[in-house]
Chain A
Amino acid sequence: DAGVIQSPRHEVTEMGQEVTLRCKPISGHDYLFWYRQTMMRGLELLIYFNNNVPIDDSGMPEDRFSAKMPNASFSTLKIQPSEPRDSAVYFCASSSRARPDTQYFGPGTRLTVL
C-alpha cells in the first residue's frame, strides 16, 4: 500500500520565483497536513484540511503562501514569490477519521531558495 507521496523531493529555485509543492495522501484518509521543518524553528504546522476543506491555516507564515486541496487525492502548497528564508523541508501528512491522532508523513520536499 503506497504511503504519502510528495513531489518534487528536491527543489532549488531563485528568489522571486513561484514554487509549487505537491502531495498525494494515503487513499481513504480524511485529513491532510502541511508542515515546515527548519533547524531554527523545528516542525511547524502550516495548514490542515478535513475532507478537502481548509480547517486551520493559522500557521501559514504570510500571504505569499497558499494551499489548495481540489480533491481527496491531491494537494498543493504554493509559495509566490519565494524568498531565501523559505528554504526548509516541507512535509505532507495524512490521517484517517477513524484514527485522527496517528499521522502518516511523506518523505518531504527539500526546498532551497537562492
Chain B
Amino acid sequence: GNSVTQMEGPVTLSEEAFLTINCTYTATGYPSLFWYVQYPGEGLQLLLKATKADDKGSNKGFEATYRKETTSFHLEKGSVQVSDSAVYFCALTPNRDDKIIFGKGTRLHILP
C-alpha cells in the first residue's frame, strides 16, 4: 500500500542551526511528494512539492529532493528561524490521485 514515514519529534534546534527532517515513502507507481506545514492554531498549508524523480522542491529557504532510489524526500533548511516553529507533514499522492496521504507530522521548536 501507500504510506509515508517521517521522523518523530519534537525536534528542538537553536536559531540559525541546520535542519533536516527525514521522510521515506512506500508507493506504487510514481507518486507526487509534498511537505505541508502547520503553524500554531492554523490549518495545514503547502510548503513545497516535487512531482518526479530528482526534482527539487523549494520555498521559504526550505528544500527537498525526490529520491526514487532511496524512496526519500527529506526536508532541509540551512538556517532556521524562530518563526519556523511549526509541525511539518510529509505527504504523497499516488499517480495524481484525488487523496493525499499524510505522515504523522514532526513538531519543530526553534529556540532564540
On A, residues with C-beta under 8 Å from B are 4, 31, 33, 42-43, 45, 48, 50, 55-56, 91, 93, 100-108
B100 proximity list for chain A (CB < 8 A): 101, 103
Interchain CB contact under 8 A, A100 and B102: no
Please pick, from B34, B42, B98, B104, the residue contacting A31 in the complex, using a CB distance under 8 A: B98
Please, which residue of chain A has its CB at the minimum distance from the CB of B33? A101
- Total interface residues on B, CB under 8 Å, equals 19
Complex: A42 Cα to B44 Cα, angstroms: 13
A45 proximity list for chain B (CB < 8 A): 99
Interchain CB contact under 8 A, A101 and B43: no
The 5 closest A-B pairs by CB, nearest first: A105-B43, A42-B104, A101-B93, A105-B44, A43-B102
Interchain CB contact under 8 A, A42 and B98: no
Interchain CB contact under 8 A, A55 and B43: no
A sample of 30 cross-chain residue pairs with beta-carbon separation below 8 angstroms, ordered by A number, consists of: A31-B98, A33-B99, A42-B104, A43-B44, A43-B102, A45-B99, A48-B99, A50-B98, A91-B44, A93-B43, A93-B44, A100-B96, A100-B98, A101-B34, A101-B49, A101-B93, A101-B100, A102-B46, A102-B49, A103-B46, A103-B100, A104-B45, A105-B44, A105-B45, A106-B43, A107-B41, A107-B42, A107-B43, A108-B42, A108-B43
B85 proximity list for chain A (CB < 8 A): none
Within residues 1 to 59 of chain B, which ones have a CB less than 8 A from any CB in chain A? 32, 34, 41-46, 49
Complex: A106 Cα to B96 Cα, angstroms: 22
Within residues 54 to 104 of chain B, which ones have a CB less than 8 A from any CB in chain A? 89, 93, 96-100, 102, 104
Complex: A94 Cα to B102 Cα, angstroms: 15
Dominant SS at the A interface?
strand
A31 proximity list for chain B (CB < 8 A): 98
Q: What is the distance, in angstroms, from A51's C-beta to the closest C-beta of chain B?
A: 11
Interchain CB contact under 8 A, A43 and B105: yes
Please, which residue of chain B has its CB at the minimum distance from the CB of A49? B98
A107 proximity list for chain B (CB < 8 A): 41-43
B32 proximity list for chain A (CB < 8 A): 101
